[in-house]
Amino acid sequence: MAAILKGVTVLYGVAAQAGISNFICQSLSVDKAFELNDKVADETGVTVTLRYDGVERTGTIEGIAKTTDMPEVGAAITVALKTDVGVSQSITGCIESVSEKGSNKDFVRVSIKFRQVDGIASYVPA
């Protein structure tokens, strides 16, 4: 059944994740922040300088496992977004961790944590 919308147009749901096989995406969170930040205080303790370096994005994508084959830690991953929190509407980075959660009353859920740093041009193994 088609959705009926009234009012203001907004983004809904999770972007389709074609880059992760054997996985049905249920949620996605991405944080964009500076990798390094520091401040300088003067003799009275008042902050007089702030320095920010190295934009990075970290995130977690969670979903239901379709088969036993999940991505490997250290592998490159491309995650689709609905906004431009990434460099565009996607992020290509490195998988930092993969975890599984099972229950006798639920589907097997997999959580993938990833990181992308603007200073790294390619996440393809050298």
pLDDT of 87 reads: 66
What are the distances in angstroms from CA 106 to CA 48, 64, 112? Answer: 53, 10, 18
What's the whole-number mean pLDDT along residues 1-10? Answer: 79
Domain edges within the chain:
23-117
What are the distances in angstroms from CA 103 to CA 25, 43, 48, 80? Answer: 18, 57, 53, 28
> What is the token pair recorded at 37?
């930040």
Does pLDDT of 1 surpass 70?
no
pLDDT tens per residue across span 14-43: 888 877 878 899 999 999 999 899 999 999
pLDDT of 88 reads: 75
DSSP 8-state assignment for residue 71: P
